[in-house]
Chains A and B, each alone.
Chain A
Amino acid sequence: MDVLSNLAMGFGVALSPVNLLFCFIGVVFGTIIGALPGIGPSAGVAILLPLTFGRNPVTAIIMLAGIYYGAMYGGTITSVLINVPGEASSVMTTIDGYQMARKGRAGVALGIAALGSFIAGTISQVIFMFLAPTLASWALSFGPPEYVALMLLGFTALAGLTEGSPSKTIIATLAGLFLSIVGIDIVSGSARFTLGTRQLLGGFDFLPIAMGLFGITEVLASVEKIQPLEIQKADLALKNVFPKAKDWVATRWAILRSTFLGFVVGVLPGAGATIASFLSYASEKKLSKHPETFGKGEIVGVAAPESANNAASVGAMVPLLTLGVPGSATTAVMMGALMMLGLRPGPLLFEKNPQFVWGLIASMYIGNVLLVILNIAFIPTFVQILRIPQWILSSLIVVFCVVGVYSLNNNLNDVWIMLVFGILGFVMRKLGYPQAPLVLALVLGSQLEMTLRQSLMISHGSLAIFFTRPISRVLIVVAIVMLLIPLARGIVARIRKTAGVTQ
């Protein structure tokens, strides 16, 4: 009952004209960002963040969340019509979505993706609504050691769950931690790594680095390989987009299974929508009576990953709002944005700012309805956006980043910092160093240092405090396991390789 009355209050907030407008702007931009190859939701949220300046935090988070889950919808358009994923979590959709388009079923592929996403999004929001307050009230019992353990788990999960070299992921995390250290130390007042400049005394702002690493890097990476997009011809009239009864029968259980899988994966730190879509595709293929149809235009191969990535995007909001620990790059950017707007995500949010939390939850329901309408009735409009020459889009992104970062402090130094990190991000990407852990560590770095100090103050300098408290002990053990996963993966791969050679 409490939940329902809170939700009613949330709708009161979300349905205010300004919030409704920003929700609409968020989901429209989110769909466009999702549809445009190369720009992911984290880049989209970072680039469009300046539009929220001067707004209250509820309005800002409503728009940013709209961009996040809107991007999950938009990614399908390019996957199905161009055979290029709009963003990473739509990679699996490309496999069967494009094959469906080649068979003249592009409309149905887009329709089932949009409706599957809507169902997954709505169910996940219901779960979120009941789970989050419980988790938040449990998290109120967390002390500094638990937070240290939780943040360490977040960092190691990134190293354990992401593809590529774990050493490089850890290096990126350490780089982010180092950047968070730069500036005046709040305890001792000492200047740290400021290179004798006044500008660095206040430390690095999060926004120039995030916009550089996501926005400028994306532009440089996309102009390196400019490819004309060949859009598959498709009749996207409304009657061709709605799935037929047999399509529903084929996909209904896959959508439900992928929703729960996606939500759980989304809640886990470091996993996110991409892994959720991979797992759901793989599990549906395994469960299917006709696995041979996957990859040849199987509708379940579109419905499952799209439902999963949407559910994961809702799930990813759980650790952000209840624990104040983002589990993905996009939620890290959102957390940085909220901190800039003077709000500290965490368990106290539910007690101190119920209008913020429930306004966001209600806006997600509204956004989901807007998205399903947009992604069914207005697909041809979004396809037209894909026809805009890449040079124009790239130039506009650079201009947006420059103006946006400048607006932060009315300072051109921030723009220089953004450009430097844009180039650094491009080099990192080329060499396989992920940018997301850097941003995550930058956002959480000062909090980690502070809680570490508090923990050691409580224990009089003894590290045993992390192992004597049950929750932090479990979290630390899981963090260690996460760190060992890549090692175990490497050993298994080597054993398999050796076994293959001897056979």
Chain B
Amino acid sequence: MRTANIIMASAITAVGTYITVASLGLSYYLEGVPGPGFASFWVGLFLIVCGVIVFGGLLIDRNSGGPGLPFIEGREGLGRVLRVTAGSVAMVLITGYFGMLIGLALFMAFMLRYEAKASWRSAIRWGIGVPLAFYLVFARLLEVRFPVGLLFEKLGL
């Protein structure tokens, strides 16, 4: 955890530096009024200051930042977080190619079958029921146009 804290503090300082430097390319004052670079300059500068304070605090006090504590507790927890993240990313990718209904259906079925350890029958039931319910509420009731996906678009469906 301490290492993660140090990395984060360094990243914040780096981002602050980027913002400050980049804002120098924008006008600081424009006809007596703060220009487009004014706010970003100060935001960047304060980010650097705060990042350095956090970073310095971690360096001075060796017991701060949770030394010895893992960033994510246990391999199982890490696995679950990664699988949900990967599943969500896959759902959006699938939505882009095959449409939202298929994306949602596969995501629900995957989560139910492999994470909740539900039976295939239950996973399929949820995989069909949830997209259908969302379709009815959002596409029918709220008139949101669900994406059909690149593939079906090309096929003209």
Contacts and interface: CB of A to CB of B under 8 A. Distances in A.
B47 A187 contact: no
B67 interface: no
A422 B89 CA distance: 12
A190 B27 contact: yes
Contact of B54 (A171, A178, A399): A171
Contact of B26 (A178, A192, A423, A452): A192
A224 B81 contact: yes
B59 interface: no
A1 interface: no
Interface stretch (A26-34, A388-396, A464-472): A388-396
A192 B40 contact: yes
A223 interface: yes
A187 B8 contact: no
Nearest to B134: A403
Interface in A420-479: 422-423, 426-427, 430-431, 433, 448-449, 452-453, 456-457, 460-461
Contacts of B91: 398, 402
A500 interface: no
Given A391-B111, A398-B107, A190 B134 contact: no
A426 B81 contact: yes
Contacts of B4: 427, 430-431
Contact of B112 (A178, A193, A395, A461): A395
A187 B33 contact: yes
B22 A193 contact: yes
Contacts of B47: 171, 174-175, 178
B121 interface: no
Given A171-B50, A412-B92, A457-B32, A220 B81 contact: yes
Interface string B68-111: 00011100011011001101110110011000100110011001
Contact of B34 (A410, A412, A452): A452
Contact of B145 (A216, A410, A412, A452): A410
A220 B8 CA distance: 19
Contact of A188 (B27, B87, B115, B142): B27
Interface string B1-32: 10011001000100000010010001101101
B138 interface: yes
A410 B33 contact: no
A407 B144 contact: yes
B112 A220 contact: no
A178 B142 contact: no
Contacts of B80: 223-224, 226
Contacts of B27: 188, 190
Contacts of A392: 112, 116, 126
Interface string A150-179: 000000000000000101101100110110
B111 A395 contact: yes
Contact of B36 (A185, A223, A224): A185
Contacts of B115: 223, 391, 395
B81 A399 contact: no
A461 B145 CA distance: 49
A54 B139 CA distance: 12
Interface in A194-236: 216, 219-220, 223-226
A116 interface: no
B36 A402 contact: no
A187 B36 contact: yes
Contacts of B53: 167
A131 B40 CA distance: 37
Given A181-B40, A185-B36, A396-B130, A412 B95 contact: yes
A138 interface: no
Nearest to A423: B85
B32 A460 contact: yes
A406 interface: yes
A415 interface: yes
Given A193-B40, A220-B81, A412-B92, A406 B33 contact: no
A432 B155 CA distance: 49
A53 interface: yes
Contacts of A165: 54
A190 B142 contact: no
A419 B138 contact: no
6 contacts: A188-B27, A220-B84, A406-B144, A407-B138, A407-B142, A461-B33
Interface of B: 1, 4-5, 8, 12, 19, 22, 26-27, 29-30, 32-36, 39-40, 43-44, 46-47, 50-51, 53-54, 57, 71-73, 77-78, 80-81, 84-85, 87-89, 91-92, 95-96, 100, 103-104, 107-108, 111-112, 115-116, 126, 130, 134, 137-138, 142-147
Given A192-B26, A412-B95, A426-B81, 16 more contacts: A53-B144, A171-B12, A178-B44, A188-B27, A193-B19, A223-B80, A391-B115, A394-B111, A395-B126, A398-B84, A406-B100, A406-B147, A430-B71, A452-B39, A457-B33, A461-B29
Q: Which 8 A-B pairs have the closest CB atoms?
A: A391-B116, A185-B36, A395-B111, A407-B144, A224-B77, A190-B36, A223-B80, A171-B50
